[in-house]
Amino acid sequence: MCGIAGILHFDDAPIDSDLLRQMADRLAHRGPDDHGVHVDGPVGLAHRRLAILDLSPAGRQPMCNEDRTVWVTCNGEIYNFAEIRRDLEARGHIFRSRTDTEVIVHAYEQWGLDCLERFNGMFAFGLWDSRRKRLWLVRDRIGIKPLFYAHQGRFLLFGSEIKALLCDPRLGREVDDEALAYYLALNWMPAPHTLFSRVRQLLPGHYLLIERDGRSQDVEYWRLEFKEDSVHKPRRAWIDEFDALMEDAIRLRLVSDVPFGAFLSGGIDSSAISYWMSRNLSAPVKTFTIAFDESSYDETPYARMVARRLGAKHHERTVTADAAQILPQLVWHAEEPTADSSMVSMYYLAQEARRRVTMVLCGDGADEILAGYETYQAYYAACLYRLLPGFIRRWVVGPLVGMLPVSHAKISLDFKLRQFVAGAEYSAEDAHAAWRMIFDAEARKGLLAPVWNRPGVRSDVVDLYRSYFGRAAARHPLNRMLWVDTRLYLPNDMLLKVDRMTMSHGLEARVPFLDHRVVEFCAAAPPALKMKRFSTKKYLLKAVMKHRLPRKIIRRKKEGFNQPVPRWIASDLKGFVLDALSPAAVRDMGILEPKTVGRLLEDHFHGRADNSHKIWGLLTLALWWKRFLC
């Protein structure tokens, strides 16, 4: 994994090599091992290298073909590169390195744009074809790797992170009002939006083809299909095929010239990855876990249980409230912005792992392909709940839930019930959006009062979710939700968190559950194998892991990678929060209503409400504003 950047001019202006190097240097944390630039007429490509395969100078990027007419700068890995390379060598192509990146230029030579069909991997790359005078920007099918661009009148910029693009003084930093509304609703940014109005991110499974004169095409080259009319197979056949696919996905991701390990939380996803790794390695798996001093958040007993079962070499790191004071640094790395509090743990977990390894495997993606979230169960529960007369829901259930005492425990019952009752008043699919919401439409209106006259800030995230449901390639309700989360929530929150926090330490993270073959297989599997009788989530994975992992791991409820943020905000971080969100600081931003923010803080500090998600989002926004706009 690496950092990439580039410039394409549509006029005759020369490429500024110093600017290109600045863009690359801004991404040095992603690629601490080497750097390179290539200028060819109207285009400049830059690269920061994290050496994983072929550690020699032969692996330096940007990289070219034999006659130097095709150049690429790539972030990521092509896992099946050895197989593709053998095919290309048989066709006469000559390779100079042992890297997977070099396969890209030769595959493009051989098959053109269709070469993407052959790649199994996570990648974002910029490829310059000097004969056709065109730039090809590509993002992997699932969106594991990021790719941002700014298409201006006379030039185009691209990079792995927005901060590389911001090196160019020609690029303005105006705020996107629509993106601001989405951020406050979700605490994350749905692609193609960023909070910078002139910067966009390429959608997963898309490529952008830009001609020398500035004409461009945004093409969807891969679309996840739920083949609900596929041939029926016995349950055992589905289980065995899934096991075999995961074994192969793990095998491909163990190819490395550097030390590697696994993130292990003690949940079934990371435990399963660690298990499959142990089957493919002769040495013990190195596992890494984050601990908390608050028992309801600490999962280390489960992680230790799995590590003992597998004979792993286990490492732990304890995170305290003091660690949350690195939030300005996290905002710098997340940059879109994104306010997922679990970035704190991921940051320290990656830091701990990087002391011993350069690459890790992790369990992300299983929830979105195998129905691991409670929101899927809540969908069916809400269908039954709405059978109750409206007056009972509004005047009995609602007030009773509202009277529950506020708890700061992990995924507390009062929090879940409040979210459920509020979301259940929406229609079935709208509820799926409502359960993700931090600030609903009415709350956003009060919060954004200073700018409410600007149409963009009135954009509704429910409409955004409706547009995704409208394109969902599935009929079954569960599959429709999985399709939307795979295309929306997974790449824009979960995978962003993993990429930014691991790459902030120059650590590569590989996600076997998101091998596109695994994703397509799970999409084709019957809904009952993903959620059995609306009670057993990720049934297929649990069936495969039965008798392989401790029973407690198979049966335990999903807890997620949450932090004790409610307590942190109310105690250790209180002064920090009050300063960052003071009336003066909020007023200086010019977009938020200070009195509304003040009431949120007061209610949280006096125990009248758990506003931790809202406060964390506003805190992130305030720090982002100070870091990028002031």
Q: CA 7, CA 3: separation in Å to the nearest integer?
A: 14
Question: Which residue among the candidates 2, 64, 74, 522 is catalytic per the annotation?
Answer: 2
Sign of dihedral through CA atoms 365, 371, 377, 383? positive
- Report residue 230: phi and psi, to 5°: -70, 165
Q: CA 192, CA 546: separation in Å to the nearest integer?
A: 40
CB atoms within 10 A of CB 63: 24
Identify the burial level of 276 via C-beta atoms within 10 angstroms of its C-beta, where 0-12 means exposed, 13-18 middle and 19 or more buried: buried
User: What are the DSSP E strand ranges found in 479-556?
Assistant: 508-510, 531-532, 536-537
Q: CA 396, CA 147: separation in Å to the nearest integer?
A: 49
Is 167 considered catalytic here? no
Strands 359-361 and 508-510: parallel
CB atoms within 10 A of CB 608: 11
* Token couple for 355: 């002391």
**Distance set, CA 522 to CA 225, 239, 273, 515, 525 (Å):** 10, 11, 17, 11, 5
For 114, the 3-state DSSP assignment is: helix
DSSP assignments along 533-578, one per residue: TTTEETHHHHHHHTTTS-HHHHHSPP--S---HHHHHHTTTHHHHH
Compute the radius of gyration of the chain from its Cα atoms: 24
Q: Crossing angle, helix 516-524 and helix 477-487, to 10 degrees?
A: 160
How is the beta sheet containing 359-361 ordered, strand by strand?
313-319, 286-292, 260-263, 359-361, 508-510
Residue among 336, 431, 425 nearest 374 (CA): 431
Point out which residues pair with 200 in neighbouring strands: 149
Q: In one letter, which amino acid is 352? A: E
User: What are the DSSP E strand ranges found in 140-242?
Assistant: 148-151, 155-159, 200-201, 206-211, 216-220
C-alpha count within 13 angstroms, C-beta hemisphere, residue 339: 24
- Report residue 263: phi and psi, to 5°: -80, 130
Q: CA 623, CA 134: separation in Å to the nearest integer?
A: 38
* Token couple for 359: 């690459």
CA 395 to chain centre: 40
Per the CB < 8 A criterion, the answer to whether 137 and 200 are in contact is: no
For 314, the 3-state DSSP assignment is: strand
Q: CA 426, CA 70: separation in Å to the nearest integer?
A: 52
Q: CA 196, CA 628: separation in Å to the nearest integer?
A: 10
Q: Which residues are catalytic?
A: 2
